[in-house]
Amino acid sequence: MECLPNATSQIVVYVNGKEVIERQPDPETTLLYFLRNKLHLTGSKLGCGEGGCGACTVMVSSYNREEDVIRHVAVNACLTPLCSVAGMAITTVEGIGSTRTSLHPVQERIAKAHGSQCGFCTPGFVMSMYTLLRNNPTPSEEEIEAAFEGNLCRCTGYRSILEGYKTFAKGCCKKGKTCCQNEQNTDNEQGSPQLFDASEFTPLDPSQEPIFPPALQV
């Protein structure tokens, strides 16, 4: 068990591809506190602090030696003890893209679909969707809805978030075609305007995602 209170204990985690060593970790430190207060990665938000809102969602990746597979799981960092992710790779919203470099398609689509207002919930939605896509680049619409069961938004009413993200679903936004979500929501009886133009979206390219740190597979 890591996190023993002695002078030699330390844990190693990889955060957004970089090795981080925490010496004498406090067993009560949460992953969220560590990310925000020690690494100053403040993209993951502290909302409820008790696993109810999903604003703190990050992706935790680990290597299963017996099955020789890498697993990606979306977790509530506010409930996750830092010590429980020793030897694992953490990806936060800062690790997938930014306005300073380039946005990841998951970030771009929630923005262009008007799925972010105050923005407090957005990093959590982004990381839930990103984790789903890392495990399955062509999810069904039902799988996308299920991925957000732990994310709350008090501003948008969810429609724009879901419609933006359902463009990742099987059969949607194929090259040269209009997105099926757009088709459903354009020129309806009430004459509501379409929320976005799916042809502007950057395609998802799973081959461009960061690799799992090789050091954690040894």
| Residue ranges in contact with ligand FES by CB under 6 A | 46-49, 51-56, 76, 78, 116-121, 153-156
Q: How far is the CB of 94 from ligand FES (least distance, A)?
A: 17
**DSSP E strand stretches across 31-68:** 57-64
Strand partners, 10: 23
Q: Which residues contact 73 (CB under 8 A, 6 or more apart)?
A: 59, 60, 61, 62, 131
- Shortest distance in whole angstroms from residue 123 CB to ligand FES: 10
CB of 41 to ligand FES, least distance (A): 15
User: Which residue type does 200 have?
Assistant: E
User: 63 or 165: whose CB is closer to ligand FES?
Assistant: 165
User: Which CB, 38 or 154, lies closer to ligand FES?
Assistant: 154
Q: Which is nearer to ligand FES, 55 or 88 (CB)?
A: 55
**What is the smallest separation between the CB atom of 134 and ligand FES, expressed in angstroms?**
20
**C-beta separation of 117 from 156 below 8 A:** yes
**Which CB, 12 or 79, lies closer to ligand FES?**
79
Cβ-based nearer residue to ligand FES, 33 or 120: 120
Chain-centroid distance, C-alpha 145: 14
Q: Give min distance, CB of 168 to ligand FES, in A.
A: 19
Backbone phi, psi, residue 100, to 5°: -75, -30
CA angle 38, 151, 22 (to 5 degrees): 20
DSSP three-state, residue 25: coil
